[in-house]
Amino acid sequence: MLTAASVTTVHAEYMTRDSGSPVGDNENSQTAGETGPVLLQDAHLIEKLQRFDRERIPERVVHARGTGAFGVFEPSSDIHDLTTAQVFKPGSQTPVFVRFSTVMGYRGSPEQARDPRGFAVKFYTEQGNWDMVGINWPIFFIRDAIKFPDFVHANKPSAVTGVQDPNLAFDFFAHTPEATNMLTHLYTVEGMPDSYRHMNGSAVHAFKFVNAQGTVHYVKFSWRSRQGVHGLEPKQIAGSVGNDWNLMTNDLYGAIKKGDVPKWDLYIQTLTPGELGKFDFDPLDDTKVWTGIAERKVGTLTLNRVPDNYFESTEESAFAPSRLIPGIEASEDRMLQGRLFAYADTQMYRLGANYQQLPINAPRTPVNNNSQDGAMNASGRKGEINYEPSGIKPLDQDPKYKYAQTPVTGTTQQRMTGKPRNFFQAGEYYRSLGEKDKTLLVEALSGDLAHVDNKENTYTMLSYFYKADADYGTRLSKALHADAGRVKDMADRLQD
């Protein structure tokens, strides 16, 4: 027990309302007499309840469970021959905020879910903010953004029961053969990271580097963990949830607080526009990796500070792949093209039109445009010239910041890519695994497939995996006691 002599007196600051007005009593509401009703005129009471009622903003539809940290990016290679992006200027340091996440779970859900992991990086560069919005794999389930709402609906909890259902997920995947590669990666041990520190990351899509001469190179970005890559085996997952369902957050924050700061090296792959046609698959298809293309290290990311306020950093942070800087542009990747709109739009819905004025999202460079008003606007814009062009107060535009020119030919269409190649990279990845990893992959994947009641969907999925690799499909068929001959016949009718 503390004695009076051991207690240090702390002089608290005066409590105020949001308007700055001091509060006289924060424990008793204003009433009409000793036994009368509470008065509506008690502005402090009303404001306090109003603010409490509004403490929750709309939850992210995906990536709701997140963990954020601050840090710095330092380039290690001079790549001005590829891009004018100043974030890669030798000797520079760029502050960053990184948000890791699970994808399908709600806020507060266990972090040990069979799920991709979000790996979103906000670079506060001297040319404005650059958001590299990615996951822990260099590929994705689908190649066209028009499928994204359906993909999420099928993998989110049932619209009837509110519980995730493998029947719905694999009903979607049975009709989406391009997901075979991502599913194969997801169900490996590496697909269930034991820590955010122990996973790699990727921007997934191809982007464009543009140099000072306007020359374009297509580029892919990948993060490589210096801590190594480690995951949980299927039998370890349930135990880890029971011990700590905040395992990944606690591990990351514990390491940073101890000074064991995690680092990731950034690697790039580049192609000229003329090299895109040399592949037997579409290199702008985000279900594929660029095989045989050398990687080049260009910098290092270090996370060194835990946020002081979860809501104002991790929850209010807003990422969008359309937030690019001079020297980096979007490619024609169909999935990316949809995300360019959807991500910024969802952040505007969640946080309001002026979400980029929030401290966590605000660039470290001046903002000067004619956007105005809207809820929570605090831009400080002055004067009556809120249009352009203007001879009274012109806003200069430097032609060197124009988008790179991209040749366009053909007619508008709604067609799948001409080179889908849905299965071969899943087979290549399977064959690269060691015997133990293959066994654990089959154990994890067959465990979820065993819950699928629609046997037509089960056999369709098995035929996809068999088409990727005969041994892979055969092992899964055996684990599920399926008719291996039927699986082979269905696989033989598939085209890759």
Residues 139-197: tens digit of each pLDDT: 999 999 999 999 999 999 999 999 999 999 999 999 999 999 999 999 999 999 999 99
Q: What is the pLDDT of residue 12?
A: 58
Residue 20 forms part of a structural domain: no
Per-residue confidence band for 7, with pLDDT thresholds at 50, 70 and 90: very low
Q: What is the pLDDT of residue 27?
A: 84
Same domain, 256 and 340: yes
Residue 16 forms part of a structural domain: no
Residue 2 forms part of a structural domain: no
Same domain, 319 and 436: no
Instruction: Give the angle subtended at the CA of 440 by the CAs of 439 and 443, to the nearest 5°.
Output: 90
Residue 485 forms part of a structural domain: yes
Same domain, 323 and 433: no
Q: What is the pLDDT of residue 241?
A: 66
Point out the domain boundary residue: 357, 380, 399: 357
Same domain, 76 and 211: yes
The DSSP symbol for 64 reads -
Same domain, 201 and 299: yes
Point out the domain boundary residue: 323, 339, 357: 357
Reply yes or no on whether the pLDDT at 484 is more than 50: yes
Same domain, 433 and 344: no
Lowest-pLDDT range of 21-35, 111-125, 420-434: 21-35
Phi, psi angle pair for 70, to nearest 5°: -95, 155
Same domain, 94 and 229: yes
Contact of 62 with 103, CB cutoff 8 Å? yes
Residue 155 forms part of a structural domain: no
Reply yes or no on whether the pLDDT at 5 is more than 70: no
pLDDT digits (tens, 9 = 90+) for 452-481: 999 999 999 999 999 999 999 999 999 999
Region 95-111 average pLDDT = 94
Residue from 246, 393, 364, 304 nearest 71 by CA: 304
Chain mean pLDDT for the chain: 93
Query: How many domains does the chain fold into?
Result: 2
> For the domain that residue 179 is a member of, what is the CATH number?
2.40.180.10
* Residue 125 to residue 491: CA distance in whole angstroms: 50
Q: What is the pLDDT of residue 178?
A: 97
Residue 148 forms part of a structural domain: no
Residue 254 forms part of a structural domain: yes
Strands 117-125 and 94-102: antiparallel
Q: What is the pLDDT of residue 242?
A: 67
Residue from 187, 235, 223 nearest 430 by CA: 187
Region 273-302 average pLDDT = 97
Same domain, 112 and 240: yes
Region 233-253 average pLDDT = 87
Can you give the residue range of the structural domain that contains 484?
A: 424-492
Q: How far apart are the first and last CA of the chain?
A: 73
Same domain, 296 and 431: no
* Residue 230 to residue 224: CA distance in whole angstroms: 12
pLDDT digits (tens, 9 = 90+) for 314-324: 999 999 999 99
For residue 216, the tally of other CB atoms under 10 A from its CB is 18
Same domain, 230 and 94: yes
Lowest-pLDDT range of 2-6, 208-212, 287-291: 2-6
Region 392-418 average pLDDT = 86
Contacts 24+ apart (CB under 8 A), 272-277: 272/216, 272/217, 272/218, 273/216, 273/218, 276/218
Residue 366 forms part of a structural domain: no
Same domain, 115 and 203: yes
Point out the domain boundary residue: 328, 357, 386: 357
Same domain, 283 and 196: yes
* Residue 81 to residue 372: CA distance in whole angstroms: 38
